[in-house]
Structure 1
Amino acid sequence: MSIENKQKQVESTLRLAPVVPVVIIEDARHAVPMARALVAGGIPAIEVTLRTPAALDAIKAIAEEVEGAVVGVGTVLSAKDLRAAHKAGAKFAVSPGVSPGLLDAADDSDLPLLPGAATASEVMTLLERGYRFLKFFPAVPAGGHKLLGAWASPLPQVTFCPTGGISLSSAPEFLSLPNVVCVGGSWLTPADKLRNGDWSGIEALAREAAALR
């Protein structure tokens, strides 16, 4: 699959809702009810990060059992991560940054990649490789909405999903920018609600997020 076709898939995923939840899941048994709650609340694209041993099992369960969910994989660092996530059923991949090895692996994979960038030079490098949709990470520590807004004029070809330090209250600052398609956030699936199985609480957080636009 060409990079352009993969970028079109990334775009369609990012346009599903104003927020992509960034999930750290400790127990794969929580994956399906959590994802169903997010979808019910209007948030279908879900990024499950590779930060716990349960992540790949969680991705597989969501991909197989949750109608309407578009499950992706986050914290992708290597070709091995891409292969494992694709095999588990992920529909998109997200990386915190980039390396030549990861970009080469993404070229050879059918799994669409949303690569991370935090500087104008990184954005330009990714643009040369055919990437028009990027993750801006870590969004708040790297300069927040003011830095991202400053890139809109010199880098109009690129659209961002800022992630890192964003909350329900600060998300509108980013979503108002012309070069932002959505934001990523961990506030939709807090650890205490996952641990306690508070699926109605997660659905309520998803509804709040979905209403941002």
Structure 2
Amino acid sequence: MPQTLLEKLKKFKVVPVIQIDDVEQAVPLAKTLVENGLPVAEVTFRTEAAEEAIRKMREAYPDMCIGAGTVLNSGQVDRAKDAGAEFIVAPGLNPNTVRYCQQQGIAMVPGVNNPSQIEQAMELGLTFLKFFPAEASGGINMIKALLAPYVDVEMMPTGGISKSNVGAYLATDRVACCGGTWMVAPALINAGDWEEIGRLVREAVELVNQ
């Protein structure tokens, strides 16, 4: 993870994890994020629209920090990178995908939730990791226990993060930022309710910067 990109994510503190079902939603959603103070997104590759959504967001907002999530193989890495993603996020730790990202010169944040995976990631030269699924894996207590032996590791908890617990996660030592969906719920995106998404984004920005 390049230091400049990590610093950006630390500054944002929360990364909206976005599922886009319709490409037409991509630019209005990017506009809503940018104008309400959170110009960052992890667009999940769980939908057919993901690749084109990243491309359209990148064209409309060249300075936005855009990553691709739920990336499971090298083919998806290529598609995400070509579309304009500047970092790759995975739910788990696949050494082949990590090495491929390193060969392609794109930052990779794999998912981990136990000591063995952390050590495997460190062996691959990675120290910024996604803790996933955060709440189901033991939440803040588990993060504290996992980070204690690994003093160089920083984490991005994702999965079950909400406005009620994001503050406590961010207050945990070496939690760099959190991934969250509550301000960009698929139902709101599909309804095109940009006003409500904007309100939730502003609320999130205020919450994490208290």
State the TM-score, normalized to the length of structure 2.
0.94
Give the alignment partner of residue 84 of structure 1, picking from 66, 69, 79. 79
Matched, 1:46 2:41: yes
| Other-structure match for 1:111 | 106
Percent identity of paired positions between Structure 1 and Structure 2: 37
* Number of residue-to-residue matches in the alignment: 208
Cα distance in 2 between the residues matched to 1:69 and 1:40: 11
| Other-structure match for 2:138 | 143
| Other-structure match for 1:3 | none
Q: Kindly provide the amino acid, as one letter, of the partner of residue 64 in structure 2.
A: A
Cα distance in 1 between the residues matched to 2:90 and 2:2: 15
Cα distance in 2 between the residues matched to 1:100 and 1:176: 30
Cα distance in 2 between the residues matched to 1:109 and 1:115: 16
Q: Deviation per CA, 1:114-153, whole angstroms, max 9, x where unpaired?
A: 1111111111111121111110000011110110012232
Deviation for aligned residue 1:64 = 0.6
Cα distance in 2 between the residues matched to 1:42 and 1:123: 32
Q: Does the CA contact (< 8 Å) of 2:114 and 2:146 recur in 1?
A: no
Q: Kindly provide the amino acid, as one letter, of the partner of residue 15 in structure 1.
A: K
Q: Does the CA contact (< 8 Å) of 1:16 and 1:43 recur in 2?
A: no
Give the alignment partner of residue 7 of structure 1, picking from 2, 14, 38. 2
Give the alignment partner of residue 168 of structure 2, picking from 164, 173, 194. 173
Cα distance in 2 between the residues matched to 1:8 and 1:131: 12
Give the alignment partner of residue 194 of structure 1, picking from 189, 193, 201. 189
Q: Does the CA contact (< 8 Å) of 1:10 and 1:113 recur in 2?
A: no
Q: Kindly provide the amino acid, as one letter, of the partner of residue 128 in structure 1.
A: E
Task: Mark the runs of 5 or more structure 1 residues left unpaired by the alignment.
Answer: 1-5
Cα distance in 1 between the residues matched to 2:24 and 2:85: 17
Give the alignment partner of residue 130 of structure 1, picking from 117, 125, 129. 125
State the TM-score, normalized to the length of structure 1.
0.93
Cα distance in 1 between the residues matched to 2:106 and 2:201: 26
| Other-structure match for 2:60 | 65
Cα distance in 1 between the residues matched to 2:132 and 2:69: 12
Q: Does the CA contact (< 8 Å) of 2:95 and 2:124 recur in 1?
A: no
| Other-structure match for 2:70 | 75
